[in-house]
Amino acid sequence: MRDGANGNEFKLHRVRARRAPVSLPCDVRQGQSPWTHSRLLNLSETGFCLVWLPAMELTRGMWLRIPGLQVLKANIRWRSGSMIGCEFEQRLYPAVFEHIVRQANGGPGGLPARIWSA
């Protein structure tokens, strides 16, 4: 996914991803480490931004657990200050993305989220 035959596959993939600000509690872990509480800061169909946890290793994959959803596998792609950016191994289905955003904004009748294209 990082590089296509002509190097444009990743760029095209990113352009199509919608991103929404969220503030959701979640749990994360790497390998056999215990689950640790954290907070999602934004979400797209391809990844998310999370509050940085000092025990996390940038070179290892991780698991993300959002209440009410299956555990999701992701890879850390960057770190900036107290945040890390991660990419899902499997892109979220649009309906799952929209469900999470709705839940972050107060449930089915919650306020509509600002969603923008990356």
Q: What is the CATH number of domain 19-117?
A: 2.40.10.220
pTM: 0.75
Structure confidence at residue 16 (pLDDT): 56
Domain ranges of the chain: 19-117
* Alpha carbon distance 66, 84 (integer Å): 17
- Compute the average pLDDT of residues 103-109: 69
Q: Tell me the per-residue pLDDT of 6-53, one tens digit each, with 9 for 90 and over.
A: 444 444 444 457 889 999 999 999 999 999 999 999 999 999 999 988
Q: Could you report how far apart the first and last alpha carbons of the chain are, in Å?
A: 17
Phi-psi sector, 107: left (phi>0), alpha (psi -120 to 50), beta? left
Query: Does residue 73 register a pLDDT over 70?
Result: yes
- Residue with token string 């689950």: 35
Mode of pairing for the β-strands spanning 72-80 and 83-88: antiparallel
Query: Does residue 74 register a pLDDT over 90?
Result: yes
AA identity, residue 46: T
* Alpha carbon distance 72, 28 (integer Å): 10
